[in-house]
Structure 1
Amino acid sequence: MGWFTAPDYWLSRLVFQRALAGVYLVAFLTAALQFRALLGERGLLPAARFVARVPFRRAPSLFHLHCSDRFCAACAWTGCAVSAALAAGADGLLPLWGGMLLWLVPWALYLSIVNVGQTWYAFGWESLLLEVGFLAVFLGNDEVDPPVVVLFLLRWILFRLEFGAGLIKMRGDACWRNLTCLHYHHETQPMPGPLSWFFHRLPAPLHKVETAANHVTQLVVPFLLFAPQPIAAVAAALMIATQLWLVLSGNFSWLNWLTIVLALSVIPYPVHAPPVPGAPLWYGVVVLAVSAFLVFLSHRPVLNMLSRRQVMNRSFDPLHLVNTYGAFGSVSRVRHEVVLEGTLDDTPAEDGDWREYEFRGKPGDPRRWPRQFAPYHLRLDWLMWFAALSPAYAGEWFGTLVKRLLENDPGTLKLLRRSPFPSDTPPRYVRARLFRYRFTTWRELRETGACWERTYVREYLPPTRLAGTAHRS
């Protein structure tokens, strides 16, 4: 079966697998540290309620068998341990079938989390990790050379990821077509990074160059992935460079890093492959059967890409085997932020002693410079960005968040950077106000030291207290 494998890509596979295991590790660590507060028994959207009303066939998950905070934590920390073992090369110490089963473990565990994660896990990079992670199961270990068909399917994912994102931009906001979207995007993106202020302050002509380069990378370069080498490797390198630019300009969870991991699988390295026996017949049959099935499933994302009503980040099956991707089909021109405040006052006056809650990543204090968190994902911070766009995005969970703040719930407070109240003294009232945020100019930064300037817009949620509580006399 010499036609079946590509010996020149054995080091590419090694790099890809170790890097993918690293992304898995970050994803499971995110779940381990945030799952209880977001989806636990007292979470903002409890997973137990979800599995009680949604059948297994619609959302396959281990949590249909048992759903408790301890079990969820065990799954997340097990995922961390297995991912770390894979990053260290544990699959290479096992027989081929054992290595495949080991790669199947994090995929099944993460699928279980995503399928009960509701709005907290409704991001494109969740499905992307599952789609890539499923293919990794069939990439083999040191006992066989990498299968050509699996390497091709990894390129197919990368093509759909980039080309789909390019199409959604061209069909969406007019600012992508007139090359002005990046006049706003660095300022209005969900979670700016430490360099976003500087990217925003680049000259307008350079922003247009950025946008044009993005179109070339997403609409032209993807086709070169299927060209002969070294053209395909050059195309992958261009994508890596673009993704590193995005890494520097903002916090997009592990989306950019996973795209880089996919691009690394395209590049053959000038290292002689160690001799290995030919692929066993059972392995070839399994790989070809799975690959044929995935190619068949690909017709749905292809039809979506060709459609004038193209949608972003959609899974077409409950196992997230083949998905469609895309981001920022429209770009906000103005940044709004929801600011949560609490008070100990018995009567919540407008000018009372209101104290602001500080989030880890989302803008708050105008003098606090944005931090770098990606590839770690601050899920509540991201959803607060959506809440500022429209209260409809927060309808399921925002009221529970306010209730947990009124209770000084320790799990919820761990999601924040700082609570303004002692652990034994919860606030009497919590309110939310909407502000417009903009990056300061160079002059304002020098004079005030603040990277943001904010202006009050309106009340988002009036002063609220726990039901059944009374004013103190």
Structure 2
Amino acid sequence: MHGFAAVDYVLAREVLQRGIAALYLVAFVSTLNQFRPLLGEHGLLPAPRLLEWAGSSPARRRMLHPTLFTRVRYTDRRLAALCGAGIAIAAALVAGLPQLGPPWLPMIAFLLLWGGYLSIVSIGQTFYGFGWEMLLLEAGFLAAFLGSRDQPPQTVVIVLVWWLLFRLEFGAGMIKLRGGREWRDLTALTYHHETQPMPGPFSRQAHLLPRWFHELEVIGNHFAQLVVPWLLFAPLVGLWVPGPVPTLMGTAAAAVVIATQLWLVVTGNFAWLNWATIVLAFSAVGIPDAAAPASALPWMIDGTPLVWVIVTCALGAAYVVISVPAARNLVAHRQLMNASFNRWQLGNAYGAFGTVTKQRIEYVVEGTLDADAATAGWREYEFKGKPGDPTRVPRWFAPYHLRLDWLMWFLPLGRSLDDWFAMFVVRLLEADPPTLALLRVDPFEGERPRWVRTVAFHYRFATRAERRELGVVWVRERRWTVLAPVSLGG
């Protein structure tokens, strides 16, 4: 780093801009495919109903995060148009086209992505209530100020990305220490690979590793999230102490974060959380001893137009102010997890899995064509990602986000069935095509079932011997009836 210019981090900027744009592309594609059956005009939790409620009074309107749909009436077509525009802009950024122009061009492109996706998240209700939604929003906002190729990235913006990564990783580490005892007695990962929301194809193999390996996983996690994040800021020493060592220390910290996140990618399906962390970690990958650009003109500082230096410095000053609640939260006894402290979802608090579920309960949804529910033969609806058929090997979906499958994982953790699930059952009874498209298998191939019910099963990964003998990935045991048979008439 040389003053205002982070000349060692030109490669880091390339990865940040293209990587964050790629994640926005995935997010908009996911929304285009899933928003309308989940939250559209005839969705499980219709967004127009939320907007109508919010529009009934100024106080309610202030409770809603900013969204274009308070000014433009929501329709499914307009939602699709917004997603299409987001996909096009994100694709252009991935290709590096806006970055070829002046710095305001990629800035506008990223701010359009941020504003468009904020408009969606703000009306997404429980289906968009995940920490990685606000993470993507904040990452996209900061990416808007990384500049273009005709100048080096600004030091203040690179440091703000480090601050985001620090809150993400250190916040997750602290929430674990303050959370379940399993993180302190090193047993958390003896359960997690099996009970995580959406296992991947190698989750079973990870679960069957010896106990000592799982203990080392927890120790490695604590090191990566509680110690390593501090080293992200080591390159700042280079502003006063010459030499490549500070930059190399930051690069080493980034390597540790990337390695641990890749292990999570291999063993799970956490939408774009891990991929976003990997992209953000590249912000600390520097090339030491890069030469500072000359500033021959009075309106240039370290090779950057003065106006852009002023804009980015103002951004840094504003971020100091809005980051105060998140900084306090990191040291708070009752630390909040995935919390936003302002309407724009910037300067957020992050964290995940403060406690680990010890057993896996799955709600299996079944239907029948038979008239008599008491003697009926029942067939299962298969979801794309969540466990169902015990013989089916889990698949990779991340960074794509299967929102219905994730919400199904949360259901057994609550005390009652959520409102959206009741409407989901109704849609199954109606054989609603958009809803059925969210599933992997409709056992009735578009025909309306007479009855639908929900049964709770305990799932565990099959041992190696059970896998060889029975050919199953999961061993399951029926526990209780969650929802007794219901029909449209009932």
- Give the alignment's TM-score, normalised by structure 2: 0.92
Task: Give CA deviations for 1:44-101 in whole Å, capped at 9, x if unaligned.
Answer: 1111111122255431111222200000111112111111110001212332222211
Go from structure 1 to structure 2 and tell me whether the alpha carbon gap of 1:90 and 1:56 turns closer, same or farther (over 3 Å shift).
farther
- Find the counterpart in structure 1 of residue 394 from structure 2: 370
Q: Which amino acid aligns with 1:255?
A: L
Residue by residue, what CA displacement relative to the aligned partner does 1:161-182 show, whole Å, maximum 9, x if unpaired?
A: 1111011101110010000011
Task: Answer yes or no: is 1:345 the counterpart of 2:360.
Answer: no
The residue number in structure 2 matching 1:400 is 423
Q: CA deviation at 1:3?
A: 2.2
Aligned to 2:167: 160
Find the counterpart in structure 2 of residue 454 from structure 1. Answer: 476
Match of 1:384 among 408, 416, 426: 408
Query: Structure 1 residue 290: deviation in Å?
Result: 1.8
Deviation at 1:317, TM superposition (A): 1.2
| Residues 99 and 105, structure 2, Cα contact 8 Å, conserved in 1 | no
Name the amino acid aligned to 1:432. T
Q: Is 1:183 paired with 2:194?
A: no
Please tell me whether the aligned partners of residues 194 and 369 of structure 1 are also in contact (alpha carbons under 8 angstroms): yes
1:62 match:
68
Q: How many residues align?
A: 465
The runs of 4+ residues in structure 1 deviating greater than 4 Å are: 270-277
Q: What's the % identity of the aligned pairs?
A: 54
Q: 1:334 to 1:148 in 2, by over 3 A?
A: same
Deviations 1:157-206 (A, max 9, x none): 11111111011101110010000011100000000000000000000000
- The verdict on how the C-alpha distance between 1:434 and 1:145 changes in structure 2, with shifts beyond 3 A counting, is same
Residues 274-285 of structure 1 aligned to structure 2 (within 5 Å): 278-285=303-310
The residue type equivalent to 1:317 in the other structure is: N
Structure 1 residue corresponding to 2:84, chosen from 72, 77, 86: 77
Post-superposition offset of 1:377: 0.6
Does residue 235 (structure 1) correspond to residue 258 (structure 2)? The answer is no
8 A Cα contact 2:261 2:278, kept in partner:
yes
Distance 1:110 1:270 in 2: 36
Distance 1:441 1:324 in 2: 39
- Structure 2 unaligned blocks of 5 or more: 55-59, 235-245, 295-299
TM-score normalised per structure 1: 0.95
Deviates further, 431-440 or 269-278: 269-278
- Paired residue secondary structure (1:3): coil
**Could you say which residue in structure 2 is the equivalent of 1:429?**
451
Q: CA deviation at 1:103?
A: 1.5
Instruction: Measure the CA separation in 2 of the matches of 1:391 and 1:369.
Output: 30
**Does 2:269 align with 1:251?**
yes
- Residue in 2 aligned with 1:291? 316
Offset, 1:390 = 2.1
- Contact in 2 for aligned 1:12/1:269 (Cα 8 Å): no
2:442 to 419, 422, 426: 419
1:8 alignment partner in structure 2: 8
- Indicate the residue corresponding to 2:240 in structure 1: none
Q: Structure 1 unaligned runs (5+)?
A: 469-473
Contact 1:60 1:112 in 2 (8 A): yes
Query: 318, 333, 341: which is aligned to 1:308?
Result: 333
Question: 1 CA distance for matches of 2:18 and 2:402?
Answer: 24
Q: CA RMSD in A?
A: 1.6
Question: Partner of 1:173 in structure 2?
Answer: 180
Question: Which amino acid in structure 2 is aligned with residue 236 of structure 1?
Answer: A
Q: Which moved more, 1:195-204 or 1:55-64?
A: 55-64
State the partner residue of 1:441. Answer: 463
| Aligned mates of 2:97, 2:289 — CA distance in 1 | 22
